[in-house]
Amino acid sequence: MASLLIEGGHPLEGSFRPTGNKNAALPLLAACLLTDQPVTLHRLPDILDVRVMCELLAGLGVEQRREGDSLTLQARDIDPERLDAQSCRRIRGSILLAAPLLVRCGRATLAPPGGDVIGRRRLDAHLHGLAEMGASVENSERGLELVAKSLQPSNLLLDEASVTATENLLMAAAATPGSHVIYNAACEPHVQDLCHLLQRMGADIRGIGTNRLHIDGTQDLGGAELEIGPDYIEAASYLSAAALTGGSLRIQDVHEEETHRVIVRGFARLGAEWQVDGRDWIYHSKGGFHVADDLGGAIPKIEDGIWPAFPSDLMSILLVLATGATGSVLFFEKMFESRMVWVDRLVDMGARMVQCDPHRVLVNGPCPLRGSHQSSPDIRAGMALILAALAAEGKSRIDNAQMIDRGYQNVDENLRRLGAKIERVD
């Protein structure tokens, strides 16, 4: 168990280059199983979830060679019986091995996936889609057991726009000869990254970035390489830290027009906007920021949803940012029923907020925060607690910090380089 000791009140200054998108890295790693040729990923984050996925792949027999932030994987000979059940339970992304193993080996047995406890996270869309393509699915004592002699071209209608279900079915369709359609597909940037890799491997995919994907698959997928898109969740987290501490920060090599338009709307509601300079985002503190009321002076609402709505992964970050803004704002978390259950920790630190129900929180700012002893419940809430501690008066301790390591690379080192007073202890 690791803890972070933080002294608040020190502005963040300097520049920071985010890693590749954590949510893209896991499906891209899983896709290496679709071919016996080398697959190279650049800008791969060195985070705990990626390490666990690489351990799972190594256990299956995938050769790996890492140079800097690039990793080359080659799945010449793989054995699905060697999939480690304990490692599967450590990350949500282990479910992404289902389709590639079905395609390559005709069978897969996966222990229930782990991940953040932010509410029920269904697997039904994955399993119904694979069953429609011809797989048999059983839920046994060993976990999910899937068998398929061969998969068939299908028109699939997802009952929810699940990111990981879309990714699993994309991989299955890309490696199955014939024409497939996925309706109600997720279209987040990380799904688009997977589409681009599968295209380079030999699949024909149309409709990338929309909720209807047309895939012409092939059983002869080959090797490819791809640079993972920048992690906009990480970038926005560091910008929020600069805003809360009254600092100035340049985020390098992050700008993508679609992503920027989606996430800047939520920050603009709080008056914490930034400038775009080529591929960089630049934030300069202006001595405070203010909530932009709705028409007629009504309290505004920030709500999440499927892309291109505001992403759920940033709701915890924005919740803390709102404690530094002047005004009132209502947060409405619609994606996960337990995403907001940690806000009592912010109340302990002095935040003026009311949890109306499991999905809605009203924040009245600005709120002078004070140092406190807390524990990280999940990746995003853990990072949000770091932001609160950086802005608070006095010292804070955040336990269970390894939870944050699952999604943020070297978070204490990066913040320390930007001027934060933060130390890691075991």
Catalytic residues, which ones? 116
Residue type at position 201: M
Q: Which residues, listed in sequence order, are joined to residue 42 by a DSSP beta bridge?
A: 227
- The percent of the chain in helix, strand and coil, each rounded to the nearest 5, is 35, 25, 35
Residue 200: which of 189, 208, 212 has the closest Cα? 208
- Give the span between the Cα atoms of 154 and 174, in whole angstroms: 12
Residue type at position 425: V
Neighbours of 219 (CB within 10 A): 11
Neighbours of 54 (CB within 10 A): 18
- Give the span between the Cα atoms of 276 and 51, in whole angstroms: 33
8 Å CB contact between 305 and 353: no
Tokens 């390894």, residue?
402
Burial of 181 (0-12, 13-18, 19+ CB in 10 A): middle
Half-sphere exposure of 176 (CA within 13 A, CB side): 29
- Give the span between the Cα atoms of 181 and 169, in whole angstroms: 10
Tokens 């339970």, residue?
89
Specify the DSSP element, H or E, that contains 277: strand 275-277
Order across the sheet with 373-375: list the strands: 373-375, 395-399, 3-7, 421-425
269 backbone φψ class: left, alpha, beta (φ>0; ψ -120 to 50) = alpha
Please give the C-alpha separations between residue 401 and each of 204, 389, 420, 423, in angstroms, as whole numbers: 42, 13, 16, 11
- Give the span between the Cα atoms of 371 and 209, in whole angstroms: 43
Q: Which two tokens stand for residue 327?
A: 């005004």
DSSP, residue by residue, 9-76: ----EEEE---B-HHHHHHHHHGGGG-SS-EEEES----HHHHHHHHHHHHHT-EEEEETTEEEEE-S
- Give the span between the Cα atoms of 334 and 331, in whole angstroms: 10
Specify the DSSP element, H or E, that contains 333: none
Kindly give the interhelix angle for 315-322 and 257-269, rounded to the nearest 10 degrees.
Answer: 40
